[in-house]
Amino acid sequence: MTKVQPLREFIQDVRAGNVDEEEFLHSVMEACSKLDEEYEPFITLRNVEEVLEEGRGLLKTKGKMPLVPFSVKDNICTAGVRTTAGSKILHDYIPFFDATCVKALKDEGAVLIGKTATDEFGFGTFCTNCAFCTPKNPHDKSRVCGGSSGGAACITALASFPHVAIAESTGGSIACPASFCGVFGFTPTYGVVSRYGLVDYANSLDKIGLMAKYIDDIMLAFEFISRRDERDSTCVGLDKEDHDITLERITLGIPKEFVEAVTDEKVLKTFQSFVKKLEGNGVNIVQVSIPSVKYALAAYYIVATAEASTNLAKFCGMRYGYEKNPEGKHYNEYFSEVRSEGFGEEAKRRILLGTFARMAGYRDAYYLRALKVRTLVIREFEKALKNADFLLAPTMPVLPPRFEDVKEMSPAEVYAMDVLTVPANFAGLPHISLPCGSVAGLPVGVQLMGRHFSDWKMLSLAKIMEEAELTHSF
């Protein structure tokens, strides 16, 4: 694909007066609109006039990201721009405030171009559960982009202009599509980026993160969105750190349970040859073990759906979103009617599952047990990371599947696709998916996983790998 200018180079150009703001934004929006027709990465692409209006004067901004186009996953609120979370139940919702992360980039002079496709409320692994559009894989249109941040990965891979995407992950929604579309996808430590303005899926799991074509683009934007926020009681923020990394001094642990879970031989081979390349560059590779990985998937789905079923209780046809005339109706009848018509199939499935897991008589066996398993998973990760700086594993067990194959999968089979992305997400650990190679033109991704709050060191390592051309560029 086209070689795109890294953000810092573009910003230098802007500062030097080499960019005509109107012409630039015009060409960006035109490119987006063409791509949207063919690949459908956007639920809402912004109106050109609005974007131009916002861009006016940004050449003189003191902000550190002047005129940088950014997209936002559509489950994150944007003032004056429709925010649907991919659901019919929010089809016409227009927030009157920006999420903290959106405001942070706008304050630096970045320009919002549109809202990217997501599975309804983030419920999906392929971005095929969106009520408005279905993004197509940039490397093969008959295949999925991965989910749930499928639109973000799609436009990041396709953009012929400087761009950074704000995405979000609950159980793998950044790493999976980043891997399937061949871009960098970074999920910070839980609690580092404010969730204020996020349409919650599962509060103890949701993490806002970033996707880009270059690691440095992610580092640039991460600095501004990783600040403490009094509006999110779980947000602790993270100060920027500089790390001097040499590959020869890095030890990476490969958890054998992850490797064993890879079902596609070609993915495994691509991963193994990437590991060889790392070793050839002096990286020390050790085998580690996280036995509780086999419980993580089930425990994750119980916690995630339990939290989702309470979060989604607020959508009831009052105050905002899909609504009907409530007059003369009893509230049980009205709420049930609106919710049954407004939620899609997967949303209903997860609400039912989560409600069940929290019900008297089942709560201890499912929900509480799952939370104890989380303690176990976190401990085992900590133990494995005593012998390694970071862990390394394939991001997805398969290549991006075809739309027709996805249709044949049962819900339990779809959930099982998250087996490699769920553990780090469940434990709240920072992780980043890097493109490491390709099989017949289709991207394969690997993920680095680190200790809580090792985000900057992990990004620095990823950057070194990118600079040494160990990662694959499409």
Partner 1 sequence: MQLDEETVRRVAFLARLKLDEEEVEKYRRELESILESFHVLNEAKVDGLEPAFQPIPVKNVFRRDDVGESVPQDLALSNTKNREGGFFKGPKVMD
CB of 122 to partner 1, least distance (A): 17
CB of 367 to partner 1, least distance (A): 9
Residue 27 contacts partner 1 per CB under 8 A: no
Cβ atoms within 10 Å of 205's Cβ, excluding its own: 23
173 is catalytic: yes
Contact 167, 147 (CB under 8 A): no
- Using CB under 8 A, which residues numbered 442 to 471 contact partner 1? 452
C-alpha distances out from residue 38 to 34, 128, 141, 171, Å: 7, 16, 9, 28
Nearer to partner 1, 271 or 343 (CB): 343
Sign (positive or negative) of CA dihedral 193, 196, 197, 198: positive
**Annotated catalytic residue, options 71, 148, 149, 460:** 148
From 81, 351, 388, 442, residue interacting with partner 1 (rule: CB under 8 A)? 351
- Using CB under 8 A, which residues numbered 372 to 411 contact partner 1? 372-376, 378, 410-411
Strand 111-116 to strand 69-73: parallel, antiparallel, or no bridges (unpaired)? parallel
**Annotated catalytic residue, options 173, 179, 194, 460:** 173
- Using CB under 8 A, which residues numbered 64 to 93 contact partner 1? 92-93
Phi, psi of 162 (to 5 degrees): -60, 135
CB of 313 to partner 1, least distance (A): 8
Strand 184-187 to strand 431-439: parallel, antiparallel, or no bridges (unpaired)? antiparallel
From 191, 197, 209, 400, residue interacting with partner 1 (rule: CB under 8 A)? 191
Q: Which residues contact 141 (CB under 8 A, 6 or more apart)?
A: 38, 39
From 20, 30, 241, 333, residue interacting with partner 1 (rule: CB under 8 A)? 333
Single out the segment in contact with partner 1 by CB under 8 A; choices: 106-114, 274-282, 388-396, 423-431.
423-431
- Using CB under 8 A, which residues numbered 259 to 318 contact partner 1? 292, 294-295, 298-299, 301-302, 309, 313, 316-318
Instruction: Give how many residues touch partner 1 by CB under 8 A.
Output: 78
- Using CB under 8 A, which residues numbered 88 to 127 contact partner 1? 92-94, 96
CB of 282 to partner 1, least distance (A): 32
Q: Indicate the DSSP class of residue 54.
A: H
Q: Indicate the DSSP class of residue 76.
A: B
Single out the segment in contact with partner 1 by CB under 8 A; choices: 55-63, 147-155, 224-232, 433-441.
224-232
Q: Which H or E run includes 149?
A: none
From 426, 431, 449, 454, residue interacting with partner 1 (rule: CB under 8 A)? 426
**Annotated catalytic residue, options 64, 71, 73, 454:** 73
Nearer to partner 1, 39 or 390 (CB): 390
Residue 330 contacts partner 1 per CB under 8 A: yes
From 235, 262, 275, 393, residue interacting with partner 1 (rule: CB under 8 A)? 235
Question: Three-class SS string for 191-244?
Answer: CCCCCCCECCCCCCCCEEEEEECCHHHHHHHHHHHCCCCCCCCCCCCCCCCCCC
The whole-angstrom separation of Cα 455 and Cα 461 is 10
The whole-angstrom separation of Cα 188 and Cα 165 is 14
Nearer to partner 1, 27 or 375 (CB): 375
The whole-angstrom separation of Cα 248 and Cα 466 is 15
CB of 179 to partner 1, least distance (A): 22
Nearer to partner 1, 356 or 474 (CB): 356
CB of 10 to partner 1, least distance (A): 35
Q: Which residues contact 444 (CB under 8 A, 6 or more apart)?
A: 179, 266, 267, 270, 271, 394, 399, 435, 436, 437, 438, 472
Q: Indicate the DSSP class of residue 431.
A: E
134 phi-psi bin (left φ>0, alpha ψ -120 to 50, beta other): beta
Contact 206, 200 (CB under 8 A): yes
- Residue of 286, 296, 460 lying closest to 384 (CA atoms): 286
Single out the segment in contact with partner 1 by CB under 8 A; choices: 110-118, 212-220, 386-394, 427-435.
427-435
Nearer to partner 1, 139 or 374 (CB): 374
From 230, 244, 248, 265, residue interacting with partner 1 (rule: CB under 8 A)? 230
From 71, 87, 189, 311, residue interacting with partner 1 (rule: CB under 8 A)? 189
CB of 230 to partner 1, least distance (A): 4
Q: Which residues are catalytic?
A: 73, 148, 173
